[in-house]
Structure 1
Amino acid sequence: MAKVEVKELLEAGVHFGHLTRKWNPNMAPYIYMERNGIHVINLYKTVAKLDEANEALKKIAASGRKILFVATKKQAKDIVAEKVANVNMPYITERWPGGMLTNFVTIRKAVKKMASIDRMKKDGTFNTLSKKERLQVDRLRAKLEKNLGSISEMTRLPGALFIVDTMREHIAVKEAQKLNIPIFAMVDTNCDPRDIDFVIPSNDDASKSIAIIMGQVTDAVAEGLSERKAEKQVDPEEGKGKKREKITQEAPKVASSKIESAPKAKKIEEAPVVAEAPAVKDDTKPTKVAEEKKVAAEKAVESKMTKSDDFTKIEGIGPKAAEAIINAGIKSFAELSKAKADEIKEILTEASSRMAHLDPTSWPKQAKMAAKGKWDELKEWQDNAKGGVE
């Protein structure tokens, strides 16, 4: 991914902010100067923040989570739809449906309704309806396609949100904050950057400015997806390598058993000589081996402790909540399945007052399914549950 230069951003008009009388004082660190009653954005800070956001988006895409792009303003609609469609990510360009994240189960039902209409058309039941009913169903299908067609493949809450103009999409910001979903955004001089996790100070009104930022962001996402694809292709080869190692380890054992069984008479004669050998030498060898084994075991335990399961796969757990749980010493799905909901609630409230509203009642149950590798069952449960609650 080629890094964008300040000159390119300058040519695209990314530095133009809003009128000085409309500014938000919290944007002061990102403003370079004021010229003719308009604030000018510091593009060096834009480049630095864009690189930081791209790295984070790349990691989220490589982990397999979806990134939801939101841009309902006229200038951004077509640009976002075109760029995001290339990386196969969900996007909202018509209007933000209230409860899109906080009431995700209801939104999923609307998407399933769209799929059921398609099935009706395939199996012939659609033709059995009257002309008026067919028209009504077609209108409903067109309305659902317009508002929710781009998120039809998003079966669970997204791993992150990317927003163009946070003032216009303030409802999306609030919903993401409530669920602790990280927010990436193009933030102009009239917006509040305190609500955003990854701020990209830039002009969110000009189409050229939106196009260049979206181009960089989608390139980072595409890079993350290609890394994930490469890892998946490597994994089967690693599995074959492990099998080969097992075969080679077993082969010497067979050979040694044949050698031992051959010279029986000699071994009986040599037995007393081995018995007369000093006991000190024989004792020292096993102790060294035992020590090496202990060290290896301790290293294995340490490596297991440092690695932790991805708790964000559980409905209701965002990145910040997952971090709080891991910091509390719970690092695997098996450990989380044994934890009590009250204990988890205490951990979250101690970590941050913003997480006090979270309901961890179903988390141990979901963790139990995840620990056993029942991902299809977990996904089905999450689709039927309402915000992670039965």
Structure 2
Amino acid sequence: MLPWTTRIRQTPASLASRTPVLTLEKKNSMSNSIVKDMIEAGVHFGHRTSLWNPKMAPYIFGRKNQVHILDIRETLRGMLRAKKYLSQVAAGGSLILFVGTKRQAGEAIEKEALRCGMPFVSERWLGGTLTNFRTIRSRLTRLEELEKLRDNDQMDMYSKKMQSSLNREHRKMYRNLNGLRTMNRIPECLVIIDPGKERNAIREAKRLGITTIALIDSDSDPDLVDLPIPGNDDGIRSIELIVRQLADAVREGKGESASEEKDSAPAPAVETMAPAPSTT
């Protein structure tokens, strides 16, 4: 036990659930490296003890200076489960939607979603993004129309007032919809930063039976999501580390899918040359 923490009483069930991770850490030195990176990024820092959600007790190691310390082993366990699932989803060719609209999360969500080729929401969750998908697609069509007007220099045919209105419409739609351009169908899974902040997204996902993965802090309700990853959801470095790991899993899954398609593809037909005509 670290000397500066006060240990929270754990139930036998919660202690037993950690055994697989401890075994994994011994077998895989990479896990130890990830844990070190997590600690350096402050992933283990929770909120003030007065703000905690009692449902988070199994994921809390202790407290320091009235701040909860999250159990980094539980963070690793949750992240590995999420990575395995995301890799399988990506290998199957399904979409994964990254969601994080809080100030600390937006940049990491956009960067990592683009890196792994998945849609994202980093500014504002529009009501009906999932449950009214047809309307969202129609708005994306409108966004593309506005961009064609601009790119083809057709804006000059409108009055200055109309140009100003169209530019304002484009800026607003681009800010809210740009990350959804590649979402041509309902996603299989949502990756979320702070479920308390993204309740509307979670509500729509549950309604459609979409799996949810979330980075959850000590003030969160883990029952809101299917695959919780306990960790600091306010620190920029913490968010960047977790989202980067999840995006890596998506990329790995896509690579597996590509290699499987290559292996299963029929061998190209061998072209046979016709015999040369006789010169005699």
TM-score bucket of the superposed structures, by smaller chain: 0.7 to 0.9
CA RMSD of superposed structures (Å): 1.7
Q: 2:46 aligns with which of 17, 23, 31?
A: 17
**Greater Cα shift, 21-30 or 133-142:** 133-142
Letter in 2 for 1:57: L
Q: Report if the CA contact (8 A) 2:46-2:231 is conserved.
A: yes
Cα deviation, 1:93-145, whole Å, max 9, x if unaligned, reads 11111111111111111101011223334556543222222221122112111
1:150 and 2:200 matched: no
Q: 8 Å contact 2:70–2:231 — kept in the other structure?
A: yes
Equivalence for 1:130: 159
Q: State the Cα distance separating 1:234 from its structure 2 match.
A: 2.6
Equivalent residue runs for 1:310-321 within 5 Å:
none
Structure-2 separation of matches of 1:235 and 1:71: 37
**Alignment pair present for 1:194 and 2:219:** no
The gaps in structure 1 that reach 5 residues or longer are 245-390
> Which residue number in structure 2 is paired with residue 234 of structure 1?
263
Compute the TM-score of the two structures, normalised by the length of structure 2: 0.81
Does residue 1:116 correspond to 2:145, yes or no?
A: yes
Compared with structure 1, are the counterparts of its residues 20 and 122 closer, same or farther at alpha carbon in structure 2 (3 Å cutoff)?
Answer: closer
Identity %: 37
Partner of 2:73: 44
Deviations 1:211-234 (A, max 9, x none): 111111111011011112222323
- 1:76 CA drift (Å): 1.3
After TM superposition, list the pairs within 5 Å mapping 1:139-178 onto structure 2: 139-178=168-207
Which runs of structure 2 are paired with 1:266-345 in the superposition (5 Å)? none
* Matched positions, count: 240
Work out which of the residue numbers 56, 59, 62 in structure 1 matches 2:88: 59
**What residue in structure 2 maps to residue 309 of structure 1?**
none
- The one-character-per-residue Cα deviations of 1:300-338 (angstroms, maximum 9, x if unpaired) are xxxxxxxxxxxxxxxxxxxxxxxxxxxxxxxxxxxxxxx
Matches of 2:234 and 2:38, distance apart in 1:
14
Residues 98 and 120, structure 2, Cα contact 8 Å, conserved in 1: yes
Q: Which amino acid aligns with 2:220?
A: C
Higher mean C-alpha displacement, 22-31 vs 70-79: 70-79
Could you tell me how far apart the structure 2 residues matched to 1:209 and 1:240 are?
46
Structure 2 SS opposite 1:75 = coil
Q: Which has the higher contact order (CA 8 A, sep 6+)?
A: 2
Q: Secondary structure at the match of 2:242?
A: helix
Match of 1:356 in 2: none
Is the Cα–Cα contact under 8 Å of residues 195 and 224 in structure 2 kept in the other structure? no
Q: Which residue of 2 aligns with 1:291?
A: none
With normalisation by structure 1, the TM-score equals 0.59
Q: Find the counterpart in structure 1 of residue 131 from structure 2.
A: 102
**For residue 14 of structure 2, what is the aligned residue in structure 1?**
none
Deviations 1:64-96, CA, capped at 9 Å, x for gaps: 111111111111111221222111111111111
2:125 is the counterpart of 1:92:
no
2:211 equivalent to 1:182: yes
Residue in 2 that maps onto 1:297 = none
Q: AA paired with 1:179?
A: L
Residue correspondence of structure 1 range 195-274 to structure 2 within 5 A = 195-236=224-265, 239-240=266-267
Q: Deviations over 1:145-191 (max 9, x none)?
A: 11101111211111110110111111111111111100000010100
- The structure whose Rg is larger is 1
Please identify which structure carries the higher strand content.
2
